[in-house]
């Protein structure tokens, strides 16, 4: 018979995992889902940003953004496996693009609704690769071209949680 109290307990633990630091919400690891008694270590990091104020730098905006992402990856020391951008002309999907750099360590992506000025950035890395540093590099490149860009959400989550090895 299913445990009827499990879902509310899980949701309570999930909401308790959110903390606010420097005006941004961060997702912190919690142990409830694993029922772990020992501290958990992580082997990865996931950073997501939601921004407004994006202004298209021109007709080749997707290619420009992909270059920004690839440059940030190269400077980070992460290993690029593949890169692709898909531009949307507004016929089937709203105008904008989706750009992704596949990493040996996971991925870096940007998705944009150009006509609305919305931009989402997502970086997931494992091992010692610094996802926050990559995102900061990307954000600096964007804000140098678009000074009115506003970060509305910045979430950082530890990934590949596991019991610490003794």
Q: What pTM does this model have?
A: 0.76
110 in helix, strand or coil? strand
Range 19-27 average pLDDT: 47
Range 124-143 average pLDDT: 95
How far is the C-alpha of 122 from the C-alpha of 106, rounded, in Å?
A: 11
Checking 28-32 for CB contacts under 8 A at 24+ apart, the result is 28/157, 28/158, 29/157, 29/158, 29/161
| Per-residue pLDDT at 27 | 52
| Per-residue pLDDT at 162 | 84
Fold classification of 38-163 is: 3.60.90
How far is the C-alpha of 11 from the C-alpha of 56, rounded, in Å?
A: 39
Higher pLDDT, 21 or 77: 77
What are the structural domain ranges in the chain?
A: 38-163
How far is the C-alpha of 126 from the C-alpha of 162, rounded, in Å?
A: 13
Q: Closest Cα partner for 153 from 111, 107, 122?
A: 122
| Per-residue pLDDT at 166 | 61
| Per-residue pLDDT at 163 | 87
Whether 74 shows a pLDDT value over 70: the answer reads yes
């Amino acid at each position: 018979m299913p445990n009827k109290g499990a879902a509310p307990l899980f949701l309570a633990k999930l909401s308790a995992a959110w903390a606010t630091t420097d005006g941004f919400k961060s997702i912190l690891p919690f142990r409830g889902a694993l029922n772990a008694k020992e501290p958990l270590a992580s082997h990865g990091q996931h950073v997501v940003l939601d921004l407004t104020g994006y202004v298209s730098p021109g007709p080749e905006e997707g290619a420009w953004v992909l270059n920004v992402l690839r440059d940030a990856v190269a400077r980070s020391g992460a290993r690029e496996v593949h890169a692709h951008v898909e531009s949307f002309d507004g016929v089937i999907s709203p105008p904008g693009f989706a750009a992704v750099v596949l990493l040996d360590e996971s991925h870096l992506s940007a998705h944009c609704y150009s006509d609305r000025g919305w931009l989402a950035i997502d970086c997931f890395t494992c091992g010692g690769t610094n996802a926050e540093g990559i995102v900061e590099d990307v954000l600096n490149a964007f804000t140098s071209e678009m000074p009115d860009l506003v970060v509305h959400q910045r979430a950082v989550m530890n990934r590949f949680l596991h019991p610490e090895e003794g």
